[in-house]
Structure 1
Amino acid sequence: MLGQTPARCVLDGEIFLAVDGRLEFDLLSQRIHPAASRVKMLAVETPASFVAFDLLAVGDDSLIDEPFSVRRARLEAELADVSAPIHVTRTTTDAAVAEEWFGIFEGAGLDGVVAKPLAKPYAPNGRTMLKIKHARTADVVVAGYRLHKTSTDERPLLGSLLLGLYADDGKLQHVGVAASFTDTRRAELIDELAPLVVGAGEDHPWAQWQDADAQASSRLPGGQSRWTGTKDLSFVPLAPSRVAEVGYEHMEGTRFRHTAQFKRWRPDREPQSCTYEQRGSCEVRSRHRSWGKLTD
């Protein structure tokens, strides 16, 4: 791979893994593993690729203070002859083309498109670009919560709601969490959800979350992973009788890729109606910001 790039350069880009034309983030994350032998095995079985977004330096030339239009031209020139597994991201100044990409590339697992001002220099640790993403909502079952890291016995605060959808086998699958509440709302939710707390010995769909075999056969909240390490992931189980509408950007496999955003309670929905079939019929809204930013 390095043989295709300039001997001395600084590239801004991203490693990705695609299977049958679709990005697979979960497969890529498996490389975060302490065993070098496993990483080498995965590199052979599911090789990763690299896509370049920007060129910050080449040889003795720093391009950080140059406008993006200049950096992009140099990137295309320096990587003109590269081939897989190295790629150069597509760009356009045509709003109609960008909108077309916004729709068709969703099927490949992309969140949306990025708009960069052509006249701006590179901004380390800053963001001058716009991310235009798909926005969706789904109705999910709230089946538990975790306490906030600042929660105390004197003033318990809710940290995140644990969300579920019913799979074809009738089991409630853990699909992610909703968070980002104010402290006032965190305290209110503790009291609001208190009547739903499931006591010890009572039945709950995720009661086996600490069991290794159960974790292996069905993704349950609380299981340790390469991401969580020894972090305490215990939660307060709730009777799965409340439905919430949440906003999310993308579903990776059977789970939300990022933290969902709580919208409202849905007392008009039955929990059993919250299934994965929503993926094909849920509301999709484009966050159309100023496409003119593409050519500023």
Structure 2
Amino acid sequence: MSPDRLRPPVEPMLAQARPTLPGPGGLRRGVAMELKWDGFRALLFTAGRPGGAMVLQTRKGTLIQDRFPDLVAAAGQLPTGLVLDGELLALTGEGVMDFGALQRRAASSVPQKVQALTKAFPAYYVAFDLLQVEGRPTLAEPYEVRRARLEALFADHALTPPWTLCPSTRDPELAQEWLETWTRTPGIEGVVVKGLQQPYRPGARDWLKVRARETTEAVVGAVTGTLGRPRRLVLGRYDAAGRLRHVGTTTEISPAAAQQLGDRLTTAAAGAHPWEGARFTAGWGTRAALDTRMVTPDQVAEISGDTARDRGVWRHPVRLVRLRLDMPVEDVPAF
């Protein structure tokens, strides 16, 4: 075995967020754009011998191939000595990408439950980079060379689902179309921009990611800070039964917005708020509880959030655009 062969854990290369795609001139100067998936980042390793074990490594270095026996069973399609970077997805029986189902699959280790989840929510692996081929690392090669090798891998081995090649383009108009239209599909949340000459640098934030955002409304159900100077808003929407359901939390709001909102907030009466005793965090994957104060849910916030949602709840903090003093809570979109 070559001493240079990649072995888990390998840190994946990362992306830094930006609000918009580069201008047309920037897009045409040596970059490619790929779809950004709302799944689990995973590196895939195949063994150095035929029939050897396949390994799936999360972004944090955890090995989770035992949670995805369907992918392990399909690994016979892949050549030996391979390392891919990509995204894990899980689909419902209707063929819709479901992050909640993927989360349950990645967290389940009991064999009976793993088998049930595998049957109900089959997994797919979307490959967008090739880090090693035939046991030889390709990290130092430019992205456009790695991409060509990845495309050749899919063509030469006639790979079929669950193995999927991530779409890539150098056309700025097509990338903008992806951002504006494809992101309406559950499971696609934006576009990643990569330099054609970039090597693969583990742990470096050298790529760019642009998430699609939507502007909508929600009810202010609780706040952090004080009623006079709120810092974050905890948001809700009413469901068909008239219950206020939690849908997300904002980033810290501006001093001007805090003053405007503070003049209108009132403390919820004891025992009257549907969230009394509930615990909230700043976002998905964050365990630290927010110190919240329940308020009378009679104020409406216009917010801007990305498309990553789990059962109606924004997984990332949303941004407050403005207060909608002209909108009654009855006109807020339903949960």
Q: TM-score range by the shorter chain?
A: 0.7 to 0.9
Where does residue 244 of structure 2 map in the other structure? 172
RMSD: 3.2
Where does residue 21 of structure 2 map in the other structure? none
> Contact 2:80–2:135 (CA<8 Å) still a contact in 1?
no
Where does residue 240 of structure 1 map in the other structure? 297
> Contact 2:230–2:262 (CA<8 Å) still a contact in 1?
no
Give the Cα separation in 2 of the matches to 1:157 and 1:75: 53
Shift of 1:164: 1.0
Give the Cα separation in 2 of the matches to 1:240 and 1:118: 50
Give the Cα separation in 1 of the matches to 2:251 and 2:263: 15
Q: What are the superposed Cα offsets for residues 234-293 of structure 1, whole Å, 9 maximum, x if unpaired?
A: 73211112221211011443222321112222222212221239xxxxxxxxxxxxxxxx
Q: Tell me, yes or no, if structure 1 residue 59 matches structure 2 residue 134.
A: yes
> Contact 1:167–1:275 (CA<8 Å) still a contact in 2?
no
> Contact 2:82–2:132 (CA<8 Å) still a contact in 1?
yes
What is the DSSP-based 3-state SS (H/G/I as helix, E as strand, rest coil) of the residue aligned with 1:200? Answer: coil
Query: Residues 43 and 66 from structure 1, CA distance in 2 versus in 1: closer, same or farther, beyond 3 angstroms?
Result: same
Q: Which runs of 5+ in 1 are unaligned?
A: 211-220, 278-296
Where does residue 29 of structure 1 map in the other structure? 103
> Contact 1:115–1:129 (CA<8 Å) still a contact in 2?
yes
Q: Which runs of 5+ in 2 are unaligned?
A: 1-73
Residue of 38, 41, 46 corresponding to 2:121: 46
> Contact 1:197–1:239 (CA<8 Å) still a contact in 2?
yes
Shift of 1:128: 2.8
Letter in 2 for 1:249: D
Residue of 200, 204, 219 corresponding to 1:122: 200
Shift of 1:33: 3.2
Shift of 1:199: 4.3
Letter in 2 for 1:14: E
Q: Tell me, yes or no, if structure 1 residue 9 matches structure 2 residue 58.
A: no
Shift of 1:161: 1.7
Identity %: 31
Query: Residues 193 and 256 from structure 1, CA distance in 2 versus in 1: closer, same or farther, beyond 3 angstroms?
Result: farther
Letter in 2 for 1:8: G
Shift of 1:76: 1.5
Q: Tell me, yes or no, if structure 1 residue 205 matches structure 2 residue 260.
A: no
Instruction: Please list, as runs of the form range in 1=range in 2, the aligned pairs for 1:174-189 lying within 5 A after superposition.
Output: 174-181=246-253, 185=255
Give the Cα separation in 2 of the matches to 1:104 and 1:21: 19
Query: Residues 100 and 179 from structure 1, CA distance in 2 versus in 1: closer, same or farther, beyond 3 angstroms?
Result: closer
Query: Residues 122 and 33 from structure 1, CA distance in 2 versus in 1: closer, same or farther, beyond 3 angstroms?
Result: closer
Instruction: Please list, as runs of the form range in 1=range in 2, the aligned pairs for 1:1-296 lying within 5 A after superposition.
Output: 1-19=74-92, 20-33=94-107, 35-37=109-111, 38-80=113-155, 81-109=158-186, 110-146=188-224, 160-181=232-253, 185=255, 192=262, 196-201=266-271, 203-207=272-276, 222=280, 232=289, 235-250=292-307, 251-276=309-334
Give the Cα separation in 2 of the matches to 1:35 and 1:120: 37
Shift of 1:105: 2.2
Give the Cα separation in 1 of the matches to 2:150 and 2:265: 59
> Contact 1:56–1:64 (CA<8 Å) still a contact in 2?
yes
Q: TM-score, normalising length from structure 2?
A: 0.65
> Contact 1:33–1:39 (CA<8 Å) still a contact in 2?
no
Shift of 1:181: 4.7
Shift of 1:82: 1.2
Q: What are the superposed Cα offsets for residues 120-145 of structure 1, whole Å, 9 maximum, x if unpaired?
A: 11132223333233221112111112
Runs of 4+ in 1 over 4 A off after TM superposition: 156-159, 226-229, 231-234
